[in-house]
Amino acid sequence: MKLWRKSASPEPAAAVNAAAGARYTSPKERLKGDVQETARQRLVIASVIFGLAFTAVGLRMGYVSLLRDGAEPTQRVAARGGSIQSERADIVDRNGAVLATSVPVMSAFVNPHLLLDPQEAARKIVTALPDLKYDDVREKLEGDRTFVWIKRGLSPREHDRVNRLGIPGLDFQAEERRIYPQGTAAAHILGYASVDNTGLAGVERYFDQQLQSGETLQLSIDLRLQRIVEREILRVVQKFSAIGATGIVMDATNGEVLAMASLPTYNPNSTRTLTNEALFNRATLGVYEQGSTFKIFNTAMALDSGKASMTSVFDATSPIRIDRFTINDDHAQRRPLSVPEIFKYSSNIGSAKMAVEVMGPEGQRAFFDKIGFLKPVSTQLPEVAGPLWPRHWMKINTMTIAFGHGISVTPLHLAMGSSAMINGGILYQPSLVKRTAASDKGRRVIQQKTSVSMRQLLRLNAVEGTGKNANVPGYEVGGKTGTAEKPGRGGYRQKALISSFVGAFPMNDPKFVVIVSLDEPKGLPETGGYATAGWVAAPSVKLIIEQMVSLYGILPGDLKDGLPPIEIASTPVPPPVAPPQLVPASVRRSPGDHRRALPVRPAPGQTAVVPGQTAAAPGPAVRRVASE
């Protein structure tokens, strides 16, 4: 009898394989089936992931549209009384007077989806904010957006009126607003910032990153002197019916700009005043032919070459005829003239012959390139213009450029170049921020002895020449007039003048350069109908200098030879401190808290002492003038 072992059931894996083997008749078909199965599984997983993502997006959109309170700008803290994450730093003058600062403000916005009656809401809003137009507000409120601004930068009174409306969906955003406490003062230097506190012009734009980081910006300008210059050029513009004007005061020893003004001007607090004409900074964007002020540079160029001296003589007997042009003198002497006489009588003929005979086209071009007159001024403003000069510098160009025609530069070029001609021959780039001894050492462009000669010539011109109306007795003022006709179609416009005066003092040791330039002034009976620089610009420079010496306490005896140089005092910006903590009024003053008197204004030659600090002694051989 044979016994047979009953076969066991196959293992599960084997069963699966057996089933698969039953479905597929070949290994190739089996492999194809495995691939399809894997693909189906991946599709299922991907569908689940996409479904979850779309569900999350839908939930978020529903929340933002229906449930969120509408505070759209999430980069700032939005709520009533909310704080602001960062603050744009202040801009101050050389003595710490605030020129630009940021203040907290509230801005009104609406979520139209939460309004019950958009038209009624618009009516209430324009009642509280009458400067808004009903149709504009209604159009915003009837839109399909979830966030619309109503008005940004509300005043406290406007905020209170809007808040009292009690309109559902109307709320407020805590923001910063840039304000300029001095109004129009130094507007073209400061520029302005946008509603989002981003610099758009002036130093606000140039130093935008520094200001955004919270670092205070201290300028070189003196607000008191800035106001003096602005008042004077406004007065003279009104008196002579000019279409514009520029005034600049520069420290000749380091290139610091102490004041710079341009008319027309604007108020950076008011967007309504930001017209193209008002925004135009004539000091840095106005490119003009500067007339006979260029004889300063022509004469310095000839003397510095060594080919001419103060005793050199050039024939100014007859007009110069070249091509179809004739060069004449306004104060014709009709005889050979020495270099000082050419300068004193402002002889175009003598200047032209000096340029051609001593330097020639290439030498003249190289000199103006060396003093920076063939490129834009490098300073801390984005609004600077490049000069205009002949690409083919020929003999006739050399002649006309000698007396300031055929080349156009900005008034700031003129201030920079004039400073180098009298300060010992060192060219400094103009600076709108305070400088240290190491910040810009300058570069030599003429010899020391040439600079001494130029001081003598400028002083001579203010005493005996065309600049007599700028002389201030006792203060060694020097200067040069410049009157240029503006170019027009087919030639120059004889009645459209740029009348400028470059003044400097004290000429025994120059410290200040003062420039006033008028655009199209009109003559008056008291000026004999003339609108030239000696009549309209030189007297303004004189008035500015008279107020400067009063402001800084400079006496005639302070300018004697052998005394230490004058230095304009300034107040360093203190390091930032934490904001004060609010305390109840009842505990603000302790029994021992007594009022303290403010420190008196320092006398000339002294510096202010802050209570609790020791006054720093001036450096050796330096006299300081008072600051407030």
Q: Which of 341, 479, 460, 346 is nearest to 404 (CA)?
A: 346
Q: How many CB atoms neighbour CB 235 within 10 A?
A: 13
Cα(156)–Cα(143) distance, integer angstroms: 28
Q: According to DSSP H, which parts of 164-315 are helical?
A: 187-190, 202-206, 208-212, 223-240, 276-279, 295-305
Catalytic choice (107, 292, 351, 408): 292
Q: What angle do CA 285, 194, 122 make, to 5 degrees?
A: 135
Q: Which of 181, 224, 173 is nearest to 91 (CA)?
A: 181
The label of the residue with tokens 């925004």 reads 279
Phi (first) and psi of residue 349, to 5 degrees? -65, -50
Q: Can you read off the two tokens belonging to residue 602?
A: 């320092």
Amino acid at 506: P
The label of the residue with tokens 């022509």 reads 298
Largest CA distance in the chain: 160
DSSP string, 174-196: EEEEEE-TTTTTTHHHH--B-TT
Q: Is the dihedral of CA 282, 287, 291, 295 positive or negative?
A: positive
228 close to 186: Cβ distance less than 8 angstroms: no
352 close to 337: Cβ distance less than 8 angstroms: no
Cα(483)–Cα(481) distance, integer angstroms: 7
DSSP string, 446-466: S-HHHHHHHHHHHHHHHHHST
Phi-psi region of 115 (alpha: psi -120 to 50; beta: other; left: phi over 0): beta
Residue 380's contacts (CB-CB under 8 Å, 6 or more residues apart) are 203, 206, 207, 431, 432, 433
Pair type for strands 217-218 and 91-92: parallel
Q: How many CB atoms neighbour CB 605 within 10 A?
A: 13
Q: How many CA atoms lie within 13 A of 131 on its CB side?
A: 7
Amino acid at 118: P
Q: Can you read off the two tokens belonging to residue 477?
A: 């003022």
The DSSP 8-state label assigned to residue 272 in this structure reads: G
Phi (first) and psi of residue 592, to 5 degrees? -90, 5
Catalytic residue at 292? yes
Residue 213's contacts (CB-CB under 8 Å, 6 or more residues apart) are 89
Phi-psi region of 349 (alpha: psi -120 to 50; beta: other; left: phi over 0): alpha
Catalytic (active-site) positions: 292
